[in-house]
Amino acid sequence: MEPLLKTEKLGITFNKGKPNEFVALKDVNIEIYPNEYIIFFGPSGSGKSTLLYSLLGLLKPTTGEIYIRGKAYSTFREKEKNIRTSKMFGMVFQQYNLLFSLNVFDNVILPQIFISEPARSRKEKAIVLLRRFGIEARAKQSPANLSGGQQQRVAVCRALINNPDIILADEPVGNLDSESAKIVMDTLKDINVKDKKTVVLVTHDARYLPYADRVYFFKDARIEREERMSIGGHGGPGGGAPSPVVDLERLARAHPTLSAAQLKAWSLSNWLTEELTVEQMERLEEAMEKILSGKISPHQFFESLDMPFADGGVGLYRQTAAAFARRVVHIMDEMRLYAERTKGENDPKKRAQLVSMLSFFLLEEHKGDLAPEELKRLSAAIEARIVGTLSHADFVQKLSKNPSEQGVGLAQTVADRLAERLDLIISKI
């Protein structure tokens, strides 16, 4: 049987050729088969997360090669890589990375915006997942009201909603008490056994080793040994049809561009920020908002990511900062292309205004020409519309009313169009 994932003499060196050069992975050879449960085990700093990120295509090998279903990663085009990974992999992190401004249900269905699937079954699917993991009753609440273990189960549902082949989990129970940790670990096992998903889990905690079929032991940037933990192991049918590749044009047509693109940026930032503190996340989001609204250049964006935290930057590793900046710029280019293609459909100025307002909802950021008070009202109205407490007509009215009457003060036409666009999003998700 062909391995689902494979590396051949994979090496990753950070800051190559610089005084701070650091070899994070050396000569790594692994093979992961369909329906296996694999653990990457080893002390902190031994290269486990680095391997996980390179499997996701987020870190380019310094030496060696990575294969997905036998196809060399180096032969994928950038676009293909992004799309493949968003459909093939579901990610679960130590920090749950949920959006507190959305309710549990909306958090779970967020990744669906990246794939072209009929909208009809989506809600059903999310409910089935939430029910299965015992959190259905919390669907309408903010994740902020949930315990850590419940939040992580929401994150697992989110990782599963696109029906990926592989679940990658990086220290998913590292922040949980042992009781909640067991529930989440059992959940992941259940997904492996019942749903026949391949699970790759990173941990430094030996208590969890029995969950795996096979364990790769990491030490000093190498895989020291490999051990089979249980009999049985893999053996799923595998070889299912590869996921259909969705090109960004179709994605853009199916969803209001900026929202899709920004959600994509957001999900990329989740991939890259597993080890960031809350304060670093906040700074990263600030920088994202600035570049997306054109307040800073791509280079300034990179600099703010790279700058040490103590100096007011995000304090990312230089390579991470560069890779992240590249990806965000790439996404922005695609957004621009789309905007050009659809020019003439309506007044581009109004359109841009609308789009930035929609994006505002998604990022909860301060943007555009509105005063902070009106922005807040806009955001509240969008949220109310999304959760269904505001009708279409009331929403339009709220937006078009004067600021002196607690409105947002938008022109009637703008308010109408925004309402339409928003309803479109609601119907898609």
Contacts with ligand ADP by CB under 6 A lie at 14-15, 22, 24, 42, 44-50, 317, 319-320
Stretch in the footprint of Mg ion (CB under 5 A) among 45-53, 190-198, 207-215, 246-254 = 45-53
Q: Choose between 58 and 419: whose C-beta lies nearer to ligand ADP.
A: 58
Question: What are the angstrom distances between the C-alpha of 247 and each of 7, 170, 243, 250, 334?
Answer: 27, 28, 12, 6, 11
- Report the 10 Å Cβ neighbour count for 369: 8
Please pick, from the candidates 7, 46, 49, 97, the single residue that binds Mg ion as defined by CB under 5 A: 49
What one-letter code names the amino acid at 427? Answer: S
45's contact among Mg ion, ligand ADP, none, with CB below 5 to 8 A by partner kind, is ligand ADP
What one-letter code names the amino acid at 322? Answer: A
Those residues with Cβ within 8 angstroms of residue 265's Cβ, 6 or more apart along the chain or in another chain: 288, 292, 327, 328, 331
- CA 375 from centre of chain: 26
- Contact between 95 and Mg ion by CB under 5 A: the answer reads no
309's contact among Mg ion, ligand ADP, none, with CB below 5 to 8 A by partner kind, is none
The answer to whether residues 97 and 270 touch, using CB atoms and an 8 Å cutoff, is yes
Torsion sign over Cα 245, 248, 254, 259: positive
Smallest distance, ligand ADP to C-beta of residue 59, A: 8
According to CB under 5 A, which residues from 344 to 373 bind Mg ion?
none
Smallest distance, ligand ADP to C-beta of residue 27, A: 15
- Give the CA angle between residues 124, 130, 133 to the nearest 5°: 140
Those residues with Cβ within 8 angstroms of residue 115's Cβ, 6 or more apart along the chain or in another chain: 86, 87, 162, 243, 246
The answer to whether residues 153 and 144 touch, using CB atoms and an 8 Å cutoff, is no
Q: Choose between 22 and 100: whose C-beta lies nearer to ligand ADP.
A: 22
Q: Choose between 94 and 400: whose C-beta lies nearer to Mg ion.
A: 94
101's contact among Mg ion, ligand ADP, none, with CB below 5 to 8 A by partner kind, is none
Smallest distance, Mg ion to C-beta of residue 356, A: 36
Smallest distance, Mg ion to C-beta of residue 95, A: 12
50's contact among Mg ion, ligand ADP, none, with CB below 5 to 8 A by partner kind, is ligand ADP
- Map residues 302-331 to x or -, x wherever contact with Mg ion holds by CB under 5 A: ------------------------------
Smallest distance, ligand ADP to C-beta of residue 244, A: 32
76's contact among Mg ion, ligand ADP, none, with CB below 5 to 8 A by partner kind, is none
Phi first, then psi: give them for residue 363, nearest 5 degrees.
-100, -10
Q: Choose between 311 and 369: whose C-beta lies nearer to ligand ADP.
A: 311
64's contact among ligand ADP, Mg ion, none, with CB below 5 to 8 A by partner kind, is none
By C-alpha distance, which of 250, 268, 244 is closest to 87? 244
Binding-site size for Mg ion (CB under 5 A) equals: 1
Q: Choose between 168 and 419: whose C-beta lies nearer to ligand ADP.
A: 168
- Report the 10 Å Cβ neighbour count for 109: 22
Smallest distance, Mg ion to C-beta of residue 137, A: 33
Q: Choose between 57 and 172: whose C-beta lies nearer to Mg ion.
A: 172
Q: Choose between 53 and 67: whose C-beta lies nearer to ligand ADP.
A: 53
Burial of 21 (0-12, 13-18, 19+ CB in 10 A): exposed
First to last CA, the chain: 37
- Report the 10 Å Cβ neighbour count for 10: 25
- Contact between 50 and Mg ion by CB under 5 A: the answer reads no
Q: Choose between 319 and 356: whose C-beta lies nearer to ligand ADP.
A: 319
Q: Choose between 89 and 361: whose C-beta lies nearer to ligand ADP.
A: 89
Instruction: Name the strands in the sheet holding 5-14, side by side, starting at the edge strand that comes first in the sequence.
Output: 22-32, 5-14, 63-68, 71-72
